[in-house]
Every structure is written in C-alpha cells, then in structure tokens.
Amino acid sequence: MDRIFNFSAGPCTLPLPALQSAADEFLEYQGKGMSLIEMSHRSKEYDAVHHEAADLVRRLYRLPDHYKVLFLGGGASLQFSMVPMNLMQPGGRCDLALTGAWSKKALVDAAKIGTVNLAYDGSDENFMSLPDPASLAAGSGSAYFHLTSNETIGGVQWQRFPDTGPVPLVCDMSSDFVSRRIDMSQFGLVYAGAQKNAGPAGAAIVIIREDLLERSGDHLTAYLNYATHAAKDSMYNTPPVFAVYMIMKTLQWLEEQGGLEAAERMAKERSELLYGAIAGSAGFYRCPVKEHCRSVMNIVFRLPDEQLEKKFVAEALDNDMSGLKGHRSVGGCRASVYNAMPVAGARTLAEFMDDFAARN
Ligand code: PMP
C-alpha cells in the first residue's frame, strides 16, 4: 500500500508505526488467543493499556498530581454539555470567548444551562482574529471562562491564554491537544476529542483539576457527572477500549519522537512551509486569518475563485494529497497538519502550491 498525504481535519492521519503496531497485534493480543477488543475491560491486559494511556498524557504535559485524566465517550461534543452541567449551577453564569464555529457550539449548549457572558465576540471580524489575552478578564461570580485553543474550521489559534484569576479557565483543546508545550496548571479543565493529534474518533480526553469535581452535583445522572468517572478511573462503564488503545499507541509514538517539544518544532516547520507558500504566491493564495493568531494545525487559504479552488483540490488528490477542501460552512481550502503529518508532506504540498499557482 502506498500511503498518501492526508490533510483531513479529523479523523486524520495517524502515525504509521502506531497503526502498524496495532495491526501486528490486532488478531491476537499478547498471546491471549483473542484480540484486545474482544477482552473484558476489566482484564489486566486492558487495565495496563488504560493506565498507560492516561500516564502518557500525564508525562507529556508533566501534569501536576492534583489533575485527573479521564477518557469518555461522546467525543468533544458531549463536553459542550458536561462542562456547564458540572461546573456551573443551574441558572449560573460563565464567560466565553466566541472565536469561531466550535466555540459557538460550546456557547449554544452552555446557554441552555445558565447565562453565558461573551468576554470576546469575534463575529464582527468574521472570526479572523483573536484578542490580546491580557485584555480579557472573567466577570465576578463567573463559574468558569471557556475558550477554544484552536478553531479547526477558521484556523485561528491562541498563542497565550488569559489570566482569569480564581475563575477556572476551561479549554476545548480538540485540535491542538499534545501539539505544543503548555503549562496545564493555568487551566481548571481541558478537553479534547481524540481524533486529531491523539488517536481515533469517539473518545474525549478530559483533564480536570481535582477540586472542581466537588462542583458536580448529585442531581446529575451518573454518566454526565465527572465525579463518577474520576472515582472509577474512567471505568464506571465500558470505556471506548479500542480508542483508548490507539491513543496509547499514538502517544507512545509521540513520546518516542521527543514529546511536546518535538511536536511543537515539527508544527512550526510544517506551518512555515505552507504559510510561506501562501506569502510567496504574489497574492494567488490568500490566508484570511490575522498573522498573529494563525493556526499551526489548520492552515486555511483561498484561491482567486471557487473554480480554481475545486481544481486545486482535485489536482492535489491526483498527486496523492487528500482532504484539502475547506469546511463546507466556509468553503476555500484547508490543510490540516497534525502531529502525524510528516514535514515532507507539508513540503510536498508547498511545492505543489507553487507549481499550481505558476500554471494557473
Ligand atoms: N471542538 C473542536 C475544536 C473540534 O475541532 C471538534 C471536531 N472537529 C469538536 C469540538 C467536536 O468533536 P467531536 O466530533 O469529537 O464531538
């Protein structure tokens, strides 16, 4: 099989060694006469996977002891409900930075639980910019301050985060999880759908500061209560075992590459190649996002017209580069370059961009 360069926004390309290793042991796991996904989640084999996956998250981020790592079903979208249900009392208040399509979804769900104050509203600038974090503050009486570290569709990414004092900072880190060094102690809660940098779809990784578990009230049903999952180490119910196993394989690969420092370096190299191709095209390609907040994970760009965009996506596919069509809600093109995208993939795309611009 010839693997092609897959620029999909998620699910997306995963490290070949992780896939290969999973394939090698798929039919029979550790000589047990069955696949890991056929085993009880209470088996010692799965237990080891489960804890190693959580430990990898801890090691990569050098997570302080008073944070818990949870693996939950429902993807990142379930967290849009669980965060307000657990952290905010019904009828309470929270702050949110509205920076694009994904923070909008977090906003809509939170607004069903309490009042959401927009600490920042980027709609006037069509979500192509981000504020100076120092200009933001949490309101008094706010239960938490929510932001989306990387808007996967719009291609804007926070470089630094606001200091919200005693009000916990909550971050949807779905599309830049484990891609850069971050001091996790500035957050009360971080969540991420696994299907970009961390593994397959369906599972969410939640990192929660232990004291916040006290907010989860008894009125919540069992699954929707963080305290349930924290008390049982994400084994209250059958965890998404295959997803957790692939998260372990993916993060083991990342650790072998040199962890978050390596992830950050590779992300810089890939994104510089692509933004460089845009900047060097004499206006043929245009990135609508303000320079100071351009994402190193999702590089969005436009061509002179939609016909050319279609042609670009089709010709790229003919050249073994897939997934370059922008999100259906915004159009244009988007190259998602997560951890597992080799720098060579970004270089190949940048060269193709130069060539396509010259020919068109
Ligand atoms: N937040 C962000 C930033 C995302 O990119 C996505 C998925 N693309 C989600 C939330 C939703 O994730 P899921 O599909 O796992 O629910």
What is the structure's pLDDT at 151? Answer: 98
Spacing, Cα 173 to ligand 1 middle (Å) = 9
Spacing, Cα 282 to ligand 1 middle (Å) = 34
- Out of 68, 95, 196, 253, pick the active-site residue: 196
Low-confidence ranges of the chain (pLDDT < 50): none
The closest residue, in CA terms, to atom 3 on ligand 1 is: 174
Tokens of 18: 């992780």
What is the structure's pLDDT at 90? Answer: 82
pTM: 0.98
What is the structure's pLDDT at 91? Answer: 86
Q: Do strands 150-151 and 156-157 pair parallel, antiparallel, or not at all (unpaired)?
A: antiparallel
Question: Which ligand 1 atom sits nearest the alpha carbon of residue 149?
Answer: 3
| Probe residue for ligand 1, chosen from 77, 103, 104 as the CB with the greatest number of ligand atoms within 8 Å | 77
Around ligand 1, the residues with Cβ closer than 6 Å are 10, 75-77, 102, 148, 152, 172, 174-175, 193
Question: Which ligand 1 atom sits nearest the alpha carbon of residue 78?
Answer: 16
Residue 196 is a catalytic residue = yes
- Out of 68, 102, 249, 253, pick the active-site residue: 102
What is the structure's pLDDT at 89? Answer: 85
Q: pLDDT of 255-300, one tens digit each?
A: 999 999 999 999 999 999 999 999 999 999 999 999 999 999 999 9
For 286, other C-beta atoms within 10 Å of its C-beta total 13
Residue 102 is a catalytic residue = yes
Residue 310 is a catalytic residue = no
Domains of the chain by start residue, with CATH: 16-256 (3.40.640.10), 260-359 (3.90.1150.10)
The closest residue, in CA terms, to atom 2 on ligand 1 is: 174
| Mean pLDDT estimate for the chain | 97
